[in-house]
Amino acid sequence: MIKLRNIDRYIDKRLQRNFILKGIDLDIEEGDFVSIMGPSGAGKSTLLNIIGFLDDANEGEYYFLDEPVHSLNERQKSEYHRSYIGFVFQAYHLIDELTVYENIEMPLLYRKVKGSQRKSMVADMLDRFNIVAKKDLFPNQLSGGQQQLVGVARALIGSPKLILADEPTGNLHSDQSKEIMETFKKLNKEDGVTIIQVTHSDEMASYGDRVINLQDGAVTENNPYEEE
């Protein structure tokens, strides 16, 4: 599904070139649940952003479903965002002015889904995450875990093939974190959704079936647990 070849991401500063990512080669198959780990500044988020088309690599090739991403234009990238990729953020990033219902509904609006169908899809999602009672509340009326649930619901409503989660549990306490991770695991197993998450925690990483360790912009260990 995802094929990265010799990806470089750097910032030029006067005479020096600072590499954030250097020579990344990575293959991720459909149905994988991957955790990207590593110390602060290792380039985890940058890698995730590149995978999610939010950032561009300076060098190298990236194929998404065998489509060369480096030659996609903005419009096509938006198309992929709409149909294939869902994002979950550490800071939830819900729109403050919209209710829970409206936040979840929003991706459907950009996909021009009809009103009646939209209603049933949002209702399904609310039901699935047990937040029907909260549908008319605004994000600031929810707890962090609830907000993240809404965030996940929003990411899922477009039935994406890939979910990118940047420290989804970083702001949550352990019970809430577990709930989110269980959800991810279930999605991965039952619906076959590919999940890539960035995390600091070994416990969270253990929900996945593959770990990629990054250090100073390079993959140091690919799938360390598999060998055990």
Binding site for other proteins (CB under 8 A): 49, 52, 54-55, 74-75, 78-83, 87, 89, 91, 93-98, 102, 105-107, 109-112, 154, 158
**Nearer of residues 78 and 206 to other proteins, judged by Cβ:** 78
Contacts of residue 88, defined as CB under 8 A and 6 or more positions apart, other chains included, come to: 148, 151, 152, 155, 163, 164, 165, 166, 168
| CB nearer other proteins, residue 49 or residue 177 | 49
**CB of residue 92 to other proteins, shortest distance in Å:** 10
Q: Residue 109 or residue 132: which is nearer to other proteins going by CB?
A: 109
Provide CB contacts within 8 A for 85, sequence distance 6+: 52, 53, 160, 161, 162, 163, 164
Q: Find the helix or strand (DSSP H, E) in which 103 lies.
A: helix 100-110
How many other CB atoms are found less than 10 A from the CB of residue 88? Answer: 24
What is the closest distance, in whole angstroms, from the C-beta atom of residue 155 to other proteins in the complex? 9
Q: In sequence order, what E strands does the chain have?
A: 2-13, 16-28, 33-37, 59-64, 67-68, 85-89, 162-166, 194-198, 210-215, 218-222
> Cβ 96 to other proteins, closest distance in Å?
8
Q: Could you tell me the smallest distance in angstroms from the CB atom of residue 147 to other proteins?
A: 13
* 8 Å CB contact between 27 and 7: no
Smallest separation, CB 126 to other proteins (Å): 17
Token pair recorded at residue 23 = 């020579």
Give yes or no for a contact between 24 and 6, defined as CB atoms under 8 angstroms apart: yes
Least Å from the CB of residue 77 to other proteins = 9
**Can you tell me the distance from the alpha carbon of 22 to that of 9, in angstroms, rounded to the nearest whole number?**
7
